[in-house]
Structure 1
Amino acid sequence: MNAINLYIALGCADIGTFSRGRDASACIGVTPIQHSSGGKTKLGTIGKGSKNNILRSQLITGAMAEVRHIKNKEAKTKKEQWLKSLIDRRGNKCAAVALANKTVRTAFAMLTKGTEYKAELLTV
């Protein structure tokens, strides 16, 4: 259900709704709110007032499950290594929102380029 909701939110086959992955993740509400004026950019908190509250909640809940799971195992991919280091630096909840943001951007890139996801394995 989550994948279908994400596919619909990204604009289905008409992917021209968003020009960048950041725009798509901002619409869903998993990027910091931007308060800019006079050339100075200030990033605020993660916006909870998006129109896609259910999708945002599903993405963050799924990301929290992955965060809890990844803490107890060895990283095998570069994404898992990134997530483990982010958990150590920022904590579980911040890492979950960042993972949800990365998921939306990855899905947007896969839909626009027509590719499949390929995880980059760590070299041993």
Structure 2
Amino acid sequence: MQRGSHCRPRYRAAHTQSAIEPVIREALWRLGSDEEQLPAGTHAIGGYWTRTNDPEIDIVGVDRSPIAKKITLVGSIKWLEKKPFDNRDLARLITHRSQLPGADDATPLLAVTRSGCTADGVHTLTPEDLHDAWS
């Protein structure tokens, strides 16, 4: 075994996650008028983080940009090959939503996931749903 070879899969997963986030945000923006996929009034998609990256929220949907009046959704991107979005991820997303100024318990949650979702109570989009943004 080569030195560091055990780190490669973890590095690749982290790199893939950060590389795909802008592509997913673009797809969500394109889906913004599709009320079956995103809440009504979602006209801009971005992310939110603090200087300490706690919380770091992958997806924040808002009514307008650059200064939003209303947050329409809060979401997480889980782009792993073999691990679906699960209850632990949902609990983390709920905690992060509570830390986002302007969001409350009624703000819808979204999971964008490559490997499916095992948690209840969160709207889920798959790669196939995102592909539809460009068709």
Please, what TM-score do these two structures have when normalized by structure 1?
Answer: 0.29
More helix by share: 1
More strand by share: 2
More relative contact order in 1 or in 2 (CA 8 Å, sep 6+)? 1
